[in-house]
Structure 1
Amino acid sequence: MGTPEEATAGTSASAVWRERGAPLVAGSGSGPLSGVRLAVKDVYAVAGHRIGAGNPVWLAEAETETAHSWAVGALLDAGAEVTGIAQTDELTYSLSGTNAHYGTPPNPAAPGRIPGGSSSGPAAAVALGEADAGLGSDTAGSVRVPSSYCGLYGMRPTYGAVSAEGMLPLAPAFDTVGWLARDAGTLARLGEVLLPEAGRSEAQRPFHTALVAADLLALADPPVREAFGPAAAGLAERLGLRIEEVPSLGGDPAARGSAFSTAQAAQVWECDGAWVTAHPGALGSGIEQRFARASAVTPEDRAAAEEVLRTSTRDVRAGLPQGTLLLLPAASGTAPPLDQDEADKDATRKATIQLTALAGSAGLPCLVLPRMTVEGLPVGLCVVADRGNDRALLELGVLSDG
């Protein structure tokens, strides 16, 4: 791994930050997050600023926001300060972290490799030490993947647990607020502010069993599979969990991943299709191709995909009762190189979505722990719990570090 200085050599600050201040927006001056420097993904309303969504044309047309999004407001009230508005993949429709207009944010944990997206800017800012925490969003893995690639702690909460008011939507049935940090304590402190008080129920704890599903683990690259066994065993031993290996959880990962991508694409086109159609040439070629595929999803395609996801969700929730966790790699491999070709990029995305779609479609909370290293590069260990166990997951992260 290189130093942050080496990682940013020759990299424009605009690849990480769209706007930055000292701070850009001050916090309340007191509270549990006093002094925490926050990088806010460029999909959240920040009063006095515009939402740019990773695209200069979108930014040019955007109106100045008059109020903070719910999440930004809550964090500011708790004492955090907005250091800046951080970059994102265009319209957040990617898992790579590259951007044809602003460049690719550096990954100091894996120099010469992508940071992962679409919460790439916040992830890079935190990994570089330019922010203490990043406020991102996670639909198909947009916090989980950059957390994995950059060696960070990341949290995708239970769907709907944290208000997405004032956050630019991508696929509203799957979108969640998410956050990341360099340590489990900071990650949990943000959760104390963002998560509902109802999540404190003592009935959530303790966790006693950690499942490992063979079909999910098989999706990871061989070196990741080798690293996963000792990492999972070490975590289980530290937390007093019994590991149980199962053949599968919630049905065929390939079918679920394909259905998730189809259902997501239909929602993406509903949200952004009119804008994309009205602005030919405004998108980078890779994102433009993804939107073209989204435009071709028929109502019949969507209905069939949603039925697959309903069945999968029912089976996943049945197989993950209270007190039980699922352990799996947060991504299929280490961060790919910056010059990865489009065919390999699509293959990486497909394999990773087959891992992330289980929790994404079922609305389950996920915690990413930087527990694995493969050839000197980080890969996250993802811990998935039943709905509503968000605070218990964050506490687990702190205990695993203790």
Structure 2
Amino acid sequence: MAVKDVVALGGHRVGAGNPTVLAGAPVETADADAVRLLRLAGAAVAGIARTDELAFALSGANAHYGMPPNPAAPELVSGGSTSGPAAAVAAGLADLGLGTDTAGSVRVPASVCGLYGLRPTHGAVSLDGVLGLAPSFDTVGWLAADPGVLHAVGDVLLPPGMPVRPGRLFVVAPPGSAERGTTSAREGPVEVAARLADALDVRLVVGPMREDPDAAALLAAFRAVQAAQAWRLHGPWITAHPGALDAEVEARFRVGATIDADAERRAERLIAEGRARLLDRIGADTWIVRPATAGPAHPRSAGREERDTWRQATLACTVAASAYGLPSCVVPTAPAALAAAGPADPRPAPVGVAIVGPPDADRALLAAAVALGRSALT
């Protein structure tokens, strides 16, 4: 496994993608819980992999250490903030990428690197030994090229429980997001959901359902709570080390200093009310299938405006699962469809599809990923 540089490994320091953090960090005396459990199950650590600074970005662009490659699309970024583990897995240097997902930091790299990735139900996997960003949304997540590996990790890290099978799949494909980047050689959410419905023998519904009456308000509330919590965790260090962070990343953190307690409570209330409405609407037997990101990753040469546009559009795809603490499993489009493009028709850049389930549906989502992987081979 390639381990994101926010997860403790005994005998090493956590650098969190920043050389000043690394220089001042103590040597860890023990592995993070997730690493310890995976080692006990037979996993070995291949190396410590890069992250966006303090895990507060989605592109994989690090001002200090550069951008990890995206072997699936060399001209594009690998996504972040679990950028290094995704690159290592996509390059065949590791079977498993272990990282964290707060706003999409496992799901985004999985999508744009053509991998499987899971953000588990919030609180399902121990965060002991993991550097936090926003505790209300932080999760340990993982990604792999083989859905069987993704499932095996879940057997180790997830609590025991009966799989929550769906009674129906509801497909959401927001206009102007991931379908904008599709081609005839790539599946979209509807095609993936149809394969999944066939594999699981469940009903497929396609429609314009939205997770919240005002998706923009949900995103704003999520960002307010995330920024406020991130500033409480890291603001004192940032204040004591002026200029240590890239300016864009520091500006993102400093938004949290402007959010007062009343504003944070209002945002938390909006999120709680939206979660209750969604769970009441879908019940315990509906899974939502939707684009994992706003199209392919952006070019490595993209300027700030292009990066920000892509980031905001991608957050619109990822934030509901993050805000509501729901499990979300990203699956790549069918390998057969990707392989169909020859030299005269370049292979399209990967765009994954996310399957979002109700709380504690993690094991069933992983089983679904394995079923989809098998169906792609037939």
| Residue in 1 that maps onto 2:241 | 279
| Residue in 1 that maps onto 2:61 | 98
| Residue in 2 that maps onto 1:307 | 269
Q: Deviations over 1:87-130 (max 9, x none)?
A: 10000000111100011000010111110000001000100101
Q: Distance in 2 between matches of 1:342 and 1:285?
A: 12
How far the C-alpha of 1:236 sits from its partner, in A, is 2.5
| Residue in 2 that maps onto 1:342 | 304
User: Does residue 293 in structure 1 map to residue 255 in structure 2?
Assistant: yes
How many residues are matched? 360
Q: Deviations over 1:188-242 (max 9, x none)?
A: 0011000112x2x25x23x22111236x455445234983333333332333232
| Residue in 2 that maps onto 1:223 | 181
| Residue in 2 that maps onto 1:353 | 315
Moved more, 365-374 or 388-397: 365-374
Are 1:224 and 1:332, in contact at CA under 8 Å, matched by a contact in 2? no
| Residue in 2 that maps onto 1:392 | 364
Are 1:69 and 1:166, in contact at CA under 8 Å, matched by a contact in 2? yes
For 2:20, which of 57, 79, 83 is the aligned residue? 57
Query: How do 1:163-178 and structure 2 match up within 5 A?
Result: 163-178=126-141
Q: Distance in 1 between matches of 2:293 and 2:69?
A: 18
For 1:381, which of 348, 353, 356 is the aligned residue? 353
Q: Distance in 2 between matches of 1:276 and 1:120?
A: 22
Are 1:137 and 1:177, in contact at CA under 8 Å, matched by a contact in 2? yes
TM-score, scaled to structure 2: 0.91
How far the C-alpha of 1:246 sits from its partner, in A, is 4.2
How far the C-alpha of 1:375 sits from its partner, in A, is 6.6
How far the C-alpha of 1:319 sits from its partner, in A, is 2.2
How far the C-alpha of 1:400 sits from its partner, in A, is 1.4
How far the C-alpha of 1:361 sits from its partner, in A, is 0.9
Runs of 5+ in structure 2 lacking a partner?
339-345
| Residue in 2 that maps onto 1:210 | 169
Q: Distance in 2 between matches of 1:377 and 1:209?
A: 29
Query: How do 1:4-15 and structure 2 match up within 5 A?
Result: none
How far the C-alpha of 1:345 sits from its partner, in A, is 1.3
Q: Bigger relative contact order, structure 1 or 2, given CA contacts below 8 A and separation 6+? A: 2
CA-based RMSD:
1.7
Q: Distance in 2 between matches of 1:227 and 1:349?
A: 20
Code of the residue aligned with 2:181 in structure 1: it is: P
Find the residue that maps to 1:82 and give its secondary structure.
coil
Are 1:325 and 1:386, in contact at CA under 8 Å, matched by a contact in 2? yes
Code of the residue aligned with 1:377 in structure 2: it is: A
Q: Deviations over 1:310-339 (max 9, x none)?
A: 111111211232221000011011010011
| Residue in 2 that maps onto 1:155 | 118
Runs of 5+ in structure 1 lacking a partner?
1-37
Q: Distance in 1 between matches of 2:159 and 2:314?
A: 30
User: Does residue 78 in structure 1 map to residue 41 in structure 2?
Assistant: yes
Find the residue that maps to 2:194 and give its secondary structure.
helix
Are 1:78 and 1:193, in contact at CA under 8 Å, matched by a contact in 2? yes
Find the residue that maps to 2:57 and give its secondary structure.
coil
Are 1:370 and 1:379, in contact at CA under 8 Å, matched by a contact in 2? yes
Are 2:179 and 2:188, in contact at CA under 8 Å, matched by a contact in 1? no
| Residue in 2 that maps onto 1:143 | 106
How far the C-alpha of 1:350 sits from its partner, in A, is 1.2
Find the residue that maps to 1:378 and give its secondary structure.
coil
Q: In percent, how many aligned pairs have the same letter?
A: 48
Code of the residue aligned with 2:249 in structure 1: it is: I
Q: Distance in 2 between matches of 1:220 and 1:401?
A: 21
TM-score, scaled to structure 1: 0.86
Moved more, 158-167 or 234-243: 234-243
| Residue in 2 that maps onto 1:264 | 226
Q: Distance in 2 between matches of 1:256 and 1:220?
A: 20
> Which one has the bigger strand percentage?
1
Are 1:320 and 1:385, in contact at CA under 8 Å, matched by a contact in 2? no
Q: Deviations over 1:258-284 (max 9, x none)?
A: 111111000000110010011011011
Q: Distance in 2 between matches of 1:337 and 1:228?
A: 23
Find the residue that maps to 2:31 and give its secondary structure.
coil
Moved more, 296-305 or 170-179: 296-305
Are 2:154 and 2:366, in contact at CA under 8 Å, matched by a contact in 1? yes
Code of the residue aligned with 1:122 in structure 2: it is: P
| Residue in 2 that maps onto 1:190 | 153
